[in-house]
Structure 1
């Protein structure tokens, strides 16, 4: 993310972490869990060492840990990791930026589910992230991640509104897509109950970036990944009817 978007992200850190922990994360996991069970878990050894990038609030990391894998999670949000330490107390969790991390090639697999890579603001930064993943994977290691592609942002996601109301909290989120820059601007309003009949309002926004299938595949090839397969989660896997993302699966060669 650019420095300006990082500022917005930090401002939004607290409300987004709660929204993700209570609503968005569980929704994404309904897609991520069966996807990984089909595309990743059958192809890695028992007790494999897995790196969970953009691990968010940790539910997916804990699910992998419960299956007997060794799990390390990375996220750039301190507030997200506070939730993750509660949700996945036995996972190794690292506060870090996926664009810049450096880890030894000890991982059998790297996964990033939950659309974390759409927060990366340029193709060059996405390529840098792929290079970091490549360096962290053992030979023949598998890399699995999901993305929303630009066609989804320009159609079904443009002007979409989400929200929820609880006794002490309410939020609304609206997407506005700009096809000329391939940026989806997400506007968020939250209300937090502070006292009887006293609510605090916060308005903020952040950016998501859309990419084409071809440019992502080319970026993966440029850093050395092979056997790249792209799955439409709804059409090719038939797992979750409401899924609107694709999943890339590739390998670091031996």
Structure 2
């Protein structure tokens, strides 16, 4: 019991650190990045320009995507499993999100659009299956699911095994190890605050990279049809290829 409580406290502490990290300029301002994503989304979902849509923002994090969609007049239902991120989303962006994970039934049905952005799946074994299963139930006929992922081929060519990020009083030493057979990554964050190592903030993150074949096979299993699955290289709708930084998936029910 005591160990479980400590793990929970450490997770909360790390979530708060991650929020702080997300909201500092490292390579590109994260808020501006989210706004660009939402502005570009209409290239692959043209109806966003014409009509107000009912949207579920899964794994909403700090709520920036939800905020920019609401600013455009859409009705957005947001959820995330992190209580800390939901608190930040409410205080910073006025987003009242629900605390839940992908394996739970989504909070609304008959929705026009479901979003899963910024590589938010792959951290648990059944993330993709849960997202597809619950999306199929919640989407109306003709509704769309958008999944924003890293492109494995591009990542393998361009990743750096070791990187250092600095912001405020923190230094993050990131080490990445890959397994191409299983398309999996282990990312270790060694965090130092004021030059002292922080065990509470340091983390080892394990996640899976999904291929187009993974997406197709799982989508067909959950009743989506092959002709309704499209892949893009970015949110602007450019063609997907080996050198595309992102794998953007569009699945229509």
- On whether the aligned pair clears a TM of 0.5, the verdict is yes
Match of 1:230 in 2: 231
CA contact (8 A) 1:182 1:209 kept: yes
Match of 1:60 in 2: 65
CA contact (8 A) 1:44 1:109 kept: no
Match of 1:201 in 2: 198
Cα deviation, residue 77, structure 1: 1.2
- After superposition, residues 69-218 of structure 1 pair within 5 angstroms as 69-89=74-94, 91-119=95-123, 121-122=124-125, 124-157=126-159, 159-166=161-168, 168-192=169-193, 199=196, 201-202=198-199, 203-218=202-217
Q: Provide the rounded CA distance (Å) in 2 between the counterparts of 1:118 and 1:60.
A: 20
SS state of the match for residue 100, structure 1?
Answer: coil
Point out where structure 2 has 5 or more consecutive residues left out of the alignment: 1-6
Cα deviation code 1:179-217 (max 9, x no counterpart): 233221111122345xxxx85623221112112111212
Q: Provide the rounded CA distance (Å) in 1 between the counterparts of 2:89 and 2:183.
A: 31
Cα deviation, residue 143, structure 1: 0.9
Instruction: Sort the Cα spacing of 1:102 and 1:61 in 2 relative to 1 into closer, same or farther, 3 A.
Output: closer
Cα deviation, residue 133, structure 1: 1.0
Q: Provide the rounded CA distance (Å) in 2 between the counterparts of 1:172 and 1:16.
A: 14
Point out where structure 1 has 5 or more consecutive residues left out of the alignment: 1-5
Cα deviation, residue 44, structure 1: 7.4
List, as ranges, runs of 4+ consecutive aligned residues in structure 1 with deviation greater than 6 Å.
Answer: none
Instruction: Sort the Cα spacing of 1:176 and 1:34 in 2 relative to 1 into closer, same or farther, 3 A.
Output: farther
CA contact (8 A) 2:162 2:176 kept: yes
Q: Provide the rounded CA distance (Å) in 2 between the counterparts of 1:95 and 1:112.
A: 15
Instruction: Sort the Cα spacing of 1:113 and 1:31 in 2 relative to 1 into closer, same or farther, 3 A.
Output: farther
Q: How many residues align?
A: 237
SS state of the match for residue 138, structure 1?
Answer: strand
TM-score (norm 1): 0.80
Q: Provide the rounded CA distance (Å) in 1 between the counterparts of 2:162 and 2:207.
A: 14
SS state of the match for residue 47, structure 1?
Answer: coil
Instruction: Sort the Cα spacing of 1:154 and 1:219 in 2 relative to 1 into closer, same or farther, 3 A.
Output: same
